[in-house]
Structure 1
Amino acid sequence: MTSDAPGRARALAHPDRAEIRLEQVLHALADPVRLSLVRTLADAGEELPCSAFPVPVTKSTSTHHFRVLREAGVIHQVYRGTAKLNALRRADLDALFPGLLDVVLAARRDQESPARSGA
């Protein structure tokens, strides 16, 4: 990890692709707020600042959710100026766990569909 020396961008720790573990990814995706963050990133298809996410939690709780996603290898975060931008690590996740992200996101959409029948 790089230092926070003046003139250098702050760097955040991210696992390398080989360090991403299925149990950590599943844990990160198990929380409804974090899953919503991932779905927003997947739908956007581009980097988004933290302020672009409509989350029903405090800023400190939101920061925690982003950190869990980053440390699990689900997202990549980078500082650009004063903004922290977030990107989905789709290529890494698809390479390690083919189809997982698509299935999880599709299941979430199906659960939220108004046409979904009751159990």
Structure 2
Amino acid sequence: MTDRDTGRALAHPEPGQIRLEEVLHALSDPVRLSIVRELATAASELACSDFEVPVTKSTTTHHFRVLRESGVVRQAYRGTAKLNGLRRDELDALFPGLLDSVLSAADAEQGRLTG
């Protein structure tokens, strides 16, 4: 994801700054995990407004900030929209299999709870 609007650039950790405990913390919240699950299946970046989450706008903003600051997502402004992309390649390089395992476990849990 490139950010053409550099005046509104958002801070992201470099891959070497991403820590496992922060990634796990970010993924431990059900709302944040649902955001990551949706990004994992998206064909392209998604705007924050594309997500239906059961919390207030300010709480949604907090969840996206936790995901960005932990290194799970990359955010960039496009006009008035803030687009989100999963940092899958970087996370897979740092923590092989972690993201796939968490997503698979979340899918299995959803099936168990709804099935």
TM-score under structure 1 length normalisation: 0.88
Cα distance in 2 between the residues matched to 1:9 and 1:80? 12
Question: Which amino acid in 1 is paired with 2:56?
Answer: T
Cα distance in 1 between the residues matched to 2:74 and 2:94? 16
Higher RCO by CA contacts (8 Å cutoff, separation 6 or greater): 2
1:112 corresponds to 2:105: no
The percentage of aligned residue pairs carrying the same residue is 67
Structure 2 equivalent of residue 35 of structure 1: 33
Cα offset, 1:114, TM superposition: 4.7
Cα distance in 1 between the residues matched to 2:110 and 2:6? 43
Structure 1 spans left out of the alignment, 5+ residues: 1-6
Structure 1 equivalent of residue 42 of structure 2: 44
- CA distances 1:77-102 after superposition (whole Å, capped 9, x unpaired): 00000000000000100000001000
Count of aligned pairs between the two proteins: 111
What's the Cα RMSD here?
1.7
Question: Which consecutive segments of 4 or more residues in structure 1 shift more than 6 A?
Answer: none
Structure 2 spans left out of the alignment, 5+ residues: none
Say whether the 8 Å CA contact 1:110–1:116 is kept in structure 2.
no
1:26 corresponds to 2:24: yes
In proportion to residue count, which structure has more helix?
A: 2
TM-score under structure 2 length normalisation: 0.91
Cα distance in 1 between the residues matched to 2:95 and 2:12? 18
